[in-house]
Amino acid sequence: MNTLACQYAEQCAGCPWIKTKYSDQLLQKKTALNLALNSQGIETPPTELLSIQTHEIRDRVDLTIKNVLGQMRVGFFNAESKEILDIEFCLQMSPNLNLWYQEFRKALPPINQGSVRLRVSPNGERGIWLDFANLDVKNLLEEKTWLSALMGKATVEIGQKRKVLGIKEDRLRLLDSEPKKWFETYDANGLPIPIYSAIGGFTQTGFAANKKLVATILDFAKSTKLTEWTELFCGSGNYTLALASLGYNVTATENDELALSGLAASLKDHPDFKIEVIKANAYSNSGRPEISMTEGLLVDPPRSGLRQLIDQIGALNVDSRPKAIIYVSCFSDSFSGDCARLISLGYRLE
């Protein structure tokens, strides 16, 4: 397929690959991964590239709002000037998300600058998370009109604590939030399992990509023949719930309160799932489940990678180490370095 005909392709920093033919994108990404591995002295194993579609892949999007000389802009950064590029229509948003974005654009808030996350749930419900300065939030609550109108269009979360906008005693209030079904994971048959989360909580960016990602994780897990898994950095349970749907025993570790509350809500819908959730810092030995007690280890660390966790695995007796490690990564540099260290412990990269 040729490149997408996006009117913002020359300026927008949101899609750095958009001017590259899709077939070339896949080749370049595979080459970049191979080079990262080769730089660590790792011979590249056979690599499968998984593709979904070239556009309309986002069901949530993070945007910046800015007042520029009295004109409100909402969109992504300009690749050259670092100013905000006002985006009227984005080819990467799903149809439902683009409809929600068009509605939101009609009346932007009277602020100088802030960030928003727009999200649509699997059943089409609209949500928005506003990350504005405290003074802007205070002024909007007192002004009432803009926030009241927004409440008529979507569920509204505000601030780092993801408080939900509501009405109490006839006044706009910021109330404690309850996780809702904003996302979904999938069982081995590809059937959806709802994930409860905050609108501003972390999930993958779209349903289609996540479905293929989860299917890949389950294929790897089944190929190991292992049924006991420890998962570190489990978030709201994207892989936790999927693994448990196979009948596996899963011990899941997460430190983020919002993610844990979402996972707890999801588990109420699946009392048959064999999942133990532990609140702990995955990098610390304190409170975290013993890695030596697990058969399989699933990790999805931040960009910094596994860090001292590999030393902790290496300190174990060889027979006590995880028999298989499934490693999900969004950053090839830390991933390739971690792979080299794990290979030095006797693991083999597939």
- Supply the pLDDT for residue 287: 81
Q: How many beta carbons lie within 10 A of that of residue 40, not counting itself?
A: 15
Region of poorest pLDDT, from 67-71, 121-125, 220-224: 67-71
Q: Cα separation of 294 and 226, whole Å?
A: 10
The model's confidence at residue 143, banded by pLDDT at 50, 70 and 90, is: very high
Percentage of the chain exceeding pLDDT 90: 84
Which DSSP letter does residue 146 get?
H
**Active site annotation includes 330:** yes
Q: Return the ∠ at Cα 32 (arms to 29 and 35), rounded to 5°.
A: 150
* Among the listed residues 89, 92, 101, 88, the one whose alpha carbon sits nearest the alpha carbon of residue 127: 101
Residues 47-86: tens digit of each pLDDT: 888 888 889 999 999 999 999 999 999 999 998 888 999 9
Find the distance separating the first CA and the last CA of the chain, reported in whole Å. 29
Across the range 210-234, mean pLDDT stands at: 97
pTM comes to: 0.94
Q: Cα separation of 301 and 319, whole Å?
A: 24
Residues 264-322: tens digit of each pLDDT: 999 999 999 999 999 999 998 788 888 888 899 999 999 999 999 999 999 999 999 99
- Arithmetic mean of pLDDT over the chain: 94
Bridge-based pairing of strands 171-175 and 163-168 is: antiparallel
The model's confidence at residue 2, banded by pLDDT at 50, 70 and 90, is: low
Q: Which of 6, 15, 330, 339 is catalytic?
A: 330
pLDDT of residue 1 exceeding 80, the answer is no
Angle between helices 332-344 and 22-38 (to 10 degrees): 40
